[in-house]
Structure formats: C-alpha cells, structure tokens
Amino acid sequence: MGKRTPLYDTHVASGAKIVDFGGWDMPVAYGSQIEEHHAVRRDAGMFDVSHMCPVDVTGADARIFLKRLVANNVDKLTQSGKALYACMLNHAGGVIDDLIIYFLRDDWFRVVVNASTADKDLAWMEKVRLDDGFAVTIKPRRDLAMIAVQGPNARAKFWQVRPATKVATEGLGAFFAAEVGELFVARTGYTGEDGFEVMLPTGRAAQLWTDLKAAGVAEAGLGARDTLRLEAGMNLYGNDMDEAISPLDAGLAWTVDLKSPRDFVGRAALERDGARLALVGLKLLDKGVLRAHQKVVTPAGDGEITSGTFSPTLGFSVAMARVPREVKLGDTVQVDIRGKLLPAQVVKMPFVRNGKALI
C-alpha cells in the first residue's frame, strides 16, 4: 500500500482506477481519460494534487536563502501573493526538482515541490540552509491538501461553491495567490487553462471536492493531467528533466536567471557547460503514438523523446524530444516506433493553450 491523500476514499467511492505514482496511491482516471481531458479544456475539471508538498520557508533570511537555492531569481517577486516557477539545481547543474514559489511576506515564502521528490528536496533544502547558516525554518505542510480546479469555467464554479472567497480572489492575476481564511487560493495550474490551485486543511478537502462535483466540475485523474500538461508544453519532472539534465537542455532557460550576479547553486556548472541540447516539440505526421524513450533520428545526430502521447485536443500524437541544437523549427525528423521510422515535424510549443490548438 502506498501513501494516500485525504481524498483517497472519495476517489475510490467515485470508481477511480488507482495507480502507484511516486509511492502514492493516486487516481489515474475515473472513467474515460479522454473525456476528463475534454472537460478541462471545455468546461471545468478537478485534480487531487495533495500528494505534492507545500513547504513554508520562514525567517529573516527567507529571501536570500531562496536566491541561493534556485536558478530563477526570487527578487522578481515584489508583490505579496506573486508566484515564480523555478528549478532547484545540484552543483553539477542538474535539476533536483522544479517548483513554484509563492511570495507572501519577506519572512514567508511558500514553495510547492513534487510528490516523489519531496523527501530528497527537503533534505537538500536543509543542506543548503546549513552550508551557509541561513536563518530560515523549512517546514513541510503535510497538514494541507491541494485541489486543482482547471478549465474555462473553473473559477466561476469554485466561486459558486465558496462564494465568500470571490471578493478576495476575483482580482487575482495569473500566477498570483491569496490567503482567504483557511484557504490558500492560487491562480496557477498545470493544464494550460485558467483556474485555481486551492490549498486547504486536509480535513476540509473531501467537502470541497464533493461540493465542486455537485457544481458540475468533472473529476479528472493523473492520466488527463499528463495529456493536458503535455499539450500545454509543460515539463514533467523525471521525464523531461532530472538530476543529470541541466535546465538549459530541458527547454527551461527562461527560468534561469544569469543576469544578476547572484551565486545560486549550480550556476558555475551552467556557465561552464552552456546549452548542449534542445528540447523541442514534435508532431507525428503518421499514424501511431509517440512515447517517452523512442529514438529521434536527425541529420545532426540522434535524440530521444522525453514525453509523448496522443493529444485528445488535436487528434494526433505529439511529444517533447531532446535533440541536437542544430535541429530547427519546421524540420522533419524520424522517430523509431517499434523498429519503424515514422516522420515527425519539429513544432513550436505549447501545442494547445486556453482551449485552442496552436499547431
């Protein structure tokens, strides 16, 4: 038996198929994964993301600690509630995890890390704290559950069931969060659609889930979450980058701040190595399905698919692939699918955003 979120029984009662995900028993789908995907693109769906771990970083050195800890620069966060996507690197420049950092006060930031990496992330954060003697406290918040409500009608449906939150959250811009009583409401997500990610005490999660379901929000599992994030061109830790991969080789250069003189962990390695490979979008031009680890054949050398799937929105297969930097947008490459070479085109990501096909 794996670890279970406060919503586990709710998922089972809804008929979810449960799978192991990084040591957690999580719902992969409640029925048709494709229908769940469409519900998020067209209306509203919700995901239990309570396996992810919020970590509160508090204390006088909170900001300078995070400036050392991650490759993006938390000095970009000046307004309370603003969020930043960042990678936490090891000294070799590999990605220990990708995370979201919410700035609340100068002595309080909330960091949300991935489920399967949470333990090593916390150990690493403690190590970086001790190495330089930062005056911060690092506290995992396992007392919080998290529900992502996503889709064009997600916010409206959330306000319908929690009307008292509307005043405080209707003015939230993208990538902003607000505390509203015992709820922490963030206009963030992992689907390419509008919506909220809501943190709340674990004991309150099932009621919010049930209320949202009654308001017509579709239950959606990890399967739909993966096809949605891939269409949205968002990286998945463990697939598209890991401890052996630099963010510069994972399409994440935009999250690395080398302009400021700040000495973050991994900076020296990134400056020494530079970008060696490119992460590109692929569209399969034939029938079939692109999958992680399939070989990509290009005139400049071989690459590899890091994430691939059938896109329910587009009706064909798309993928992210790590390839030689000479490979350019519009090029046709070959993908080895069970011994057959099939043509795929290099396209710009995201593939889909806010319900619209972009390729």
Partner 1 sequence: MNIPSNLKYTASHEWAKVGSDGLLWIGITDAAQDMLGDLVYVGDFKVGAKLKAGETAGVVESVKAASDVYAPVDGEVAAFNDSLGSEPQQLNSAPYDAWIFKLKTSASIDGLLDAKAYEANVAASK
Buried b (16+ CB within 10 A) or exposed e, 105-143: eeeebbbbbbbbbbeebbebbeebbeeeebebebebbee
- Choice from 51, 312, 318, 322 touching partner 1 (CB under 8 A): 312
Applying CB under 8 A, which part among 72-80, 117-125, 183-191, 284-292 lies near partner 1? 284-292
8-18: string of b/e by CB count within 10 Å (b at 16+)?
bebbeebebbb
- Please, what is the minimum distance in Å from the beta carbon of residue 223 to partner 1? 6
Q: Which is nearer to partner 1, 172 or 314 (CB)?
A: 314
Strands 277-284 and 340-347: antiparallel
**Residue 183 CB, nearest approach to partner 1 (Å):** 33
Q: Are 213 and 228 in contact (CB under 8 A)?
A: no
32 near partner 1, judged by CB under 8 A: yes
Q: Is 287 in the site for partner 1 (CB under 8 A)?
A: yes
Q: Is 291 in the site for partner 1 (CB under 8 A)?
A: yes
* Interaction of residue 338 with partner 1, rule CB under 8 A: yes
How far is Cα 286 from Cα 233, in angstroms, rounded to an integer?
21
Residue 88 or 232: the one with the smaller Cβ distance to partner 1 is: 232
Of 7, 25, 27, 33, the one binding partner 1 by CB under 8 A: 33
34 vs 64 by CB, closer to partner 1: 34
What's the count of helices (H) and strands (E) in the chain, helices before strands?
9, 21
Nearest distance, CB of residue 276 and partner 1, angstroms: 30
**Is the link from the previous residue into 6 a cis peptide, with omega within 30 of 0?**
no
227 binds partner 1 (CB under 8 A): yes
Place of tokens 């691939």: 308
**Which residue number, 175 or 310, has a Cβ lying nearer to partner 1?**
310
Q: Does 288 sit near partner 1 (CB under 8 A)?
A: yes
Residue pair 103/81 in contact (Cβ under 8 Å)? The answer is: yes
The label of the residue with tokens 């008929």 reads 15
Contacts of 58 (CB under 8 A, 6+ apart): 107, 108, 109, 136, 137, 139
Does 309 bind partner 1 (CB under 8 A)? Our answer is yes
| 307 is a site residue for partner 1 (CB under 8 A) | no
- Binding partner 1 by CB under 8 A: which of 160, 166, 310, 359? 310
Under rule CB under 8 A, how many of the chain's residues touch partner 1? 16
How far is C-alpha 60 from the chain's CA centre?
A: 28
* Cβ atoms of 47 and 228 closer than 8 Å: no
Q: Which stretch binds partner 1 (CB under 8 A): 74-82, 168-176, 240-248, 282-290?
A: 282-290
Q: Which of 26, 28, 70, 333 binds partner 1 (CB under 8 A)?
A: 28
Please name which of 310, 72, 353 lies closest in space to residue 189, comparing C-alpha atoms. 353
Residue 288 or 355 having the CB closest to partner 1: 288
First CA to last CA across the chain, in angstroms? 42
Q: Interface with partner 1 includes 289 (CB under 8 A)?
A: yes
CB of 228 to partner 1, least distance (A): 11
Binding residues vs partner 1 (CB under 8 A): 28-29, 32-34, 223, 227, 287-289, 291, 309-310, 312, 338, 340
